[in-house]
Amino acid sequence: MEYEAHAKINLLLNVLGRRPDGYHELCTIMHAIDLCDTVTVEPATAVSVAADVPLPERSAALRAAEAYRAAAKTDGACITIRARIPSEAGLGSSSADAAAVLSGMQALYGALSEAELFAIAARTGADVPFCLAGGAALCEGIGERITPLPGMALNLLLVKGARGVSTRALFEGLSLPLPLGDAGGAAAALRAGDVPALAARAFNALTAPAARLVPEIARYADRLRAEGALAACMTGSGSAVFGLFESRADAERAKGAFPDAAFTHVCRTLPFSHKT
């Protein structure tokens, strides 16, 4: 069975503080986009993962599959990943793959409840529960507390330089407190379908710390605004930046202004969750 593992963007990301367990308390609004990896999940006795890009030895896809097998006491799966989402970009590539693996194994075996599936997702990675749900949502805690929001059709241009950002290294080096964006206003703009109001509230508290590691993040955001983006914002922990445009044609035109970028992609948000 073949699954689309959709990337995500963070329309807003606040870091509220450091928790006693060492993780950071977040408040973020995420939206699925139509950029995706393709994940094939087939029944097998054991768990195996192959991909057309290098993966960590203990990849999120592998950990998700092993956790499902252990919890459900089922056989495993033969998993193949065809990657299109760049890594170390803040687009949720490994989380999307892990969520697709969980969906595939649940389709194969149907052995877990929805709550059990989302519990495995949360243990696998902070963005995996959202990627499993899809659509748009306000995510709190480390990402496991999800409040669905109405999706909105948004035209985007993604831009990423050659250098990525390590999420672990970025968070370990954070100096708190960080500025906070208007999460309530951004959520209200989504509920109202108000693109200009949403654009005015696009925000990522991690931008300045990430740009100190990868300076082109700030430069790409400035250039996106100069090309007419209603908003330009880093997604996740970077290093990808998205520009929000009035139309797909505007985004396609702006794409031509970034021949120096390692990755550019015009895409749209997916306004509905996987459950719709």
Would you say the pTM of this structure is higher than 0.85?
yes
Which sequence positions are flagged as catalytic?
8, 127
List residues bridging with 30 in a β-sheet: 10, 137
Domains and CATH numbers, the chain: 2-148 (3.30.230.10), 151-268 (3.30.70.890)
Query: Dihedral of the CA atoms 231, 235, 237, 239 (nearest 10)?
Result: -80
Question: What 3-state class would DSSP assign to 173?
Answer: coil
Question: What 3-state class would DSSP assign to 44?
Answer: strand
Q: Which DSSP symbol is given to 142?
A: T
Question: What 3-state class would DSSP assign to 179?
Answer: coil
Please report the DSSP string for 158-203 in residue order: EEE-S----HHHHHHT--S------HHHHHHHHHHT-HHHHHHT-E
pLDDT tens digits along 113-149: 999 999 999 999 999 999 999 999 999 999 999 999 9
**Cα(207)–Cα(182) distance, rounded to whole angstroms?**
15
What does the pLDDT read at residue 273? Answer: 64
What does the pLDDT read at residue 187? Answer: 98
Bridging pattern class, strands 76-82 and 145-149: unpaired
What does the pLDDT read at residue 271? Answer: 78
pLDDT tens digits along 222-273: 999 999 999 999 999 999 999 999 999 999 999 999 999 999 999 999 977 6
**Cα(223)–Cα(156) distance, rounded to whole angstroms?**
14
